[in-house]
């Protein structure tokens, strides 16, 4: 299965997805060699980098280890293709414009038959590639579009309720871990992923909170380095598998959480039992 990573931070921070360990999963120590991408939120826009090649051998991914891109919201994806060939159009994260801002989405799992079970109802959001993930993103935006008609950011509670309803629907089709950002909040749905036993089961995502005191770094591991830009930085990190030896929280199946500024803004934290 693909792997996901996301960060929500109180202040913009430099995130070096180094892809030292994370990218090793992308074709070296792991099988995820069908592409990689990372989206850095920048106000209402997104700085998007993605390639349909293994992250572990990508010169562009290596450049990201040293390039000072700051953001308070980041979504990254490394791909193991299950639907759609190895091509840029099938490489996540996906982005679309809605309500005058860029929205970002990445999915880990397999939603067999989603095109037939949940067809798109309009022409506003169309898929470019051939993946179930992009179809799911377009469905999500169709459901949210009515909230974004007024030119203002809709209330978080309304957006959260619609994301919860969407998550429940797509989870009926298969593993449906996803990350979604509308530029105001980062939404996370934890479901199931393929475990070492070969079966699909929770946890699908893991969560780690870090608070940066004046002279400390929030996180520095072989996989991800988050460098503070301000004292009292706060970050929330989400990943398919723990990226450091710390006590990452395995999220309960079906959890839908929303983060702003490195803090939980909606939803209830619950650990996967066991």
**For this structure, is 2 an active site residue?**
yes
**Ordered DSSP codes for 107-162:** EEE--TTHHHHS---SSSS--SSS-HHHHHHHHHHHHHGGGGSSSSPPPHHHHHHH
Distances (CA, A) of 235 to 104, 214, 269: 19, 14, 16
90: nearest Cα among 32, 39, 130: 130
**Strand, coil or helix: 59:** helix
Go through 193-225 and write b for each residue having 16 or more CB atoms within 10 A of its CB, e for each that does not: bbeeeeebebbbbbbbbbebeeeeebbebebbb
CA distance 112 to 117: 9
Q: How many helices (H) and strands (E) does the chain have?
A: 5, 17
Catalytic entry in 2, 60, 164, 212: 2
CA distance 34 to 52: 6
Q: Which residue has the tokens 């990226």?
A: 243
Structure tokens at 128: 């470019």
Q: Which residues are catalytic?
A: 2
């Amino acid at each position: 299965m693909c792997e996901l990573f996301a960060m929500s931070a109180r202040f913009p921070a430099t995130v070096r997805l180094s892809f030292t360990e994370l990218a090793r999963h992308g074709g070296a120590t792991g099988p995820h060699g069908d592409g990689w991408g990372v989206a850095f939120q920048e106000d209402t826009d997104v700085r998007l980098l993605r390639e349909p090649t293994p992250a572990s051998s990508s010169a562009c991914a290596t450049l990201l280890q040293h390039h000072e891109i700051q953001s308070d919201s980041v979504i990254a994806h490394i791909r193991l293709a299950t639907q759609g060939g190895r091509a840029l159009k099938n490489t996540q994260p996906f982005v679309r414009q809605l309500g005058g801002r860029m929205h970002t989405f990445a999915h880990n799992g397999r939603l067999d038959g989603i095109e037939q079970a949940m067809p798109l109802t309009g022409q506003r959001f169309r898929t470019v590639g051939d993946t179930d993930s992009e179809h799911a993103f377009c469905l999500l935006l169709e459901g949210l579009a009515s909230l974004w008609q007024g030119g203002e950011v809709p209330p978080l509670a309304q957006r959260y309720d619609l994301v919860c309803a969407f998550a429940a629907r797509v989870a009926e089709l298969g593993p449906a871990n996803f990350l979604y950002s509308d530029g105001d909040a980062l939404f996370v749905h934890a479901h199931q992923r393929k475990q070492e036993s070969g079966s699909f089961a929770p946890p699908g995502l893991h969560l780690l909170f870090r608070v940066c005191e004046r002279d400390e770094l929030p996180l520095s591991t072989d996989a991800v380095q988050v460098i503070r830009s301000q004292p009292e930085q706060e970050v929330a990190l989400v990943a398919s598998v723990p990226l450091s030896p710390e006590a990452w929280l395995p999220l309960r199946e079906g959890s839908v959480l929303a983060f702003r500024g490195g803090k939980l803004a909606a939803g209830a934290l619950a650990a996967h039992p066991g």
